[in-house]
Amino acid sequence: MNTLQIETAPEFRRLERLFVDIFETHEEMTSQAARYGLDLIQSRRAEGKQTVIGLIIGTTSVGIYREWIRAHREDGFDFSSVVVFNLGEYFPIQPDNLQSNARFLRENLLDSLNIPEDQIHLLRCDIGRAQVDKTCREYEKAIKAAGGIDLQLLEVGRLGHIGFNEPGTQPGTRTRLVTVDETTRKEAASDFFSEENVPEWAITMGMETIMESKEILLLAMGEGKATLTRKIVEEEKTPAVPASFLQDHPNARVLLDIGAAGMLTRVHKPWTLGEVNWTPELKYRAVIQLSEETGNALTRLENTDYNRNHLTSLLRVSGPPDTLNTQVAHTLTGRIWNTPAFFEKKKVLIFSPHPDDDVICMGGTMQKLVEQHNRVDVAYMTNGNLAVFDQDAMRHLEFILRIGESLKMQDTRFLRAIEDLMGVLQQKKFGDVDHPGVQDVKRVIRESEAIAAIETLGIGREHAHFLNLPFYQTGKVKKDPIDEDDVRIVHDILKRLKPDHIFVAGDMTDPHGTHRMCKHAIDEALRKIKADNRPRVWLYRGAWQEWDIHQVDVFVPLSKAEAKRKTLSIFKHESQKDRAVFPGPYDDREFWQRAEDRNKRTAQALDRLGLQEYFAAEAFVFGENT
């Protein structure tokens, strides 16, 4: 797997207006943030002082909070000197509502630590509109009475917002009621089961409140935030990107995983800042990026292209452009695997986080694997039942009733059970966790669709394995952490099937973190297998983003017929067709449209580089066998 070259010398940081730490993985990033907080608590306690921490919610914060809980339970770390405030809350909302930020903090942190209740300050949003201004003033007074916030955690939103300080926020704002941006509401739609249910208002700490914190840690994760991170760190501060105001803070630090750091100049184009070590990987990346940015095919790049784009030093160590261009074009061509290039008669196991990720992300490759007489099994790691609309579950229950009548199967207990479930759905209120029976109905819907989809590609139903990992089975969008039970289930199927190759979702950008959690379970399971017996790991990207061309180890071209067959397999997931429950906040296209467009764009990118023209292509990166 290709890794980015990270430069750390001062000359490579000169465009960065904030201090930035970059980490190989999300886990390393959150671990460092957790350690930073623990060290601060410990040092202030030694001075007889409390530590006031501003808390956040979200997938990034969970890693920090789990480490704090582990430190408390396993190391006996004392949190009794900590005072906490939360950054923001939807309005109006009850504190015990499933979607409440207060409940998130209780369940994911506060209930597991020994912080005294009178030192926990969570914004009250179960109040009337007339009480809001008073509540905001009292919150500001409470922060001041505590001595101010010592450490404020922040996670940058996709609009560059922090808390509910949306684009347009001015630097002098305090805790207040704000209108939630439409895009933020779309992003939260999965938590609320529909955008219509997301509150239009929120109470949030203001920018001036945040900026008065003594220290700030701003975290960002995933390739989807790479361009935004560059704006925050390298460009002029602006109300259009509220997080950029942190440039004026004397003790603000930005923590990024590699994905979120990918567009920083010292990562994306370090050669424009200083002398770099021209490794083969860096040469390959630089030439491809040069071709993409100039619009010239690889074999047409000239001296002037290199010189005008700060790549004179590359020519100095690599020789004339023609030689370098040919080397890169040859390497890239070798990464294009048509059907005959694939291995034969091997055992392949595809791990699909949700019941449709397999066909959406690699449905074309699945066809080629079958054509080459490989045994192809698919392990569906979660059942995806949260992504089934109630009306779809009702329709299937109605179908069962009518089939029973048609076949004159009038088992009283069975009919009563079906009617009871229909009654539960009819009485369900917003935010209610589905009845276990309803969860099962939705699970079966997703499983039956998954079987129909792989059969379209020539894979028999006996090769579908539904793992139903426990971490997912909460009935809520927010999941439990991966534990030994999840790892054991994954390890068991690896031991049983003994695959030569496994395909794993390698993207960290899915909205709910399920892909990341599933990959973590696979990584832990692989560690339990002797290195010599581990399968080769292939990583594919989910529905939200594709690998950059220079990252890809294998391109799999698809003919028009193969692409059409892939789309037909995606259509089998009828509960996700027309309108998905969790489509993501920034893309109104259906998943089959995203897959088609992405695969065509990959082929077009190869064409622009001067390679053979293909109708579509899927892309993979080789993972480390841990």
Which residues are designated catalytic?
Answer: 166
Q: What is the DSSP letter of 577?
A: S
CA angle 587, 588, 594 (to 5 degrees): 65
Closest CA to 165 of 153, 147, 177: 177
For the four alpha carbons of 360, 365, 366 and 367, in that order, the dihedral sign comes to: positive
Residue 539 forms beta bridges with which residues? Answer: 504, 621
**Looking at residue 389, what DSSP letter applies?**
-
* Among candidate residues 152, 289, 153, 162, the one with its CA nearest the CA of residue 225: 162
Asked if residues 137 and 206 have their Cβ atoms less than 8 Å apart, the reply is no
State the number of CA atoms in the 13 A half-sphere of 599 facing the CB. 30
Q: Are 618 and 365 in contact (CB under 8 A)?
A: yes
Which residue stretches of 212-320 are H helix? 226-234, 258-261, 265-268, 280-294, 303-308, 312-318
**Do 467 and 380 form a contact (C-beta atoms < 8 A)?**
yes
Cβ pair 525, 491 in contact under 8 A: yes
The two structure tokens encoding residue 415: 């009919």
Q: What is the 3-state secondary structure (H, E, C) of 104-163?
A: HHHHHCHHHCCCCHHHEECCCCCCCHHHHHHHHHHHHHHHHHCCCCCEEEEECCCCCCEC
d(CA 352, CA 381): 6
For residues 404-439, one letter each, b for 16 or more C-beta atoms within 10 angstroms of the residue's C-beta and e for the rest, the string is: eeeeeeeeeeeeeebeebbebbeeeeebeebbebbb
Give 223's DSSP letter: G
Assess contact for 504 and 511: CB atoms under 8 A: no
CA Rg value for the chain: 26
CA dist 314 and 324 (Å) reads 9
Longest Cα–Cα distance of the chain, Å, equals 83
CA angle (478, 581, 521) in 5-degree steps: 40
**Pick from 460, 464, 457: nearest CA to 355:** 464
Measured distance between the N- and C-terminal CA atoms of the chain, rounded to whole angstroms: 11
Q: Give every CB contact of residue 193 below 8 A, 6+ residues apart in sequence.
A: 430, 431, 581
- Residue count of the chain: 626
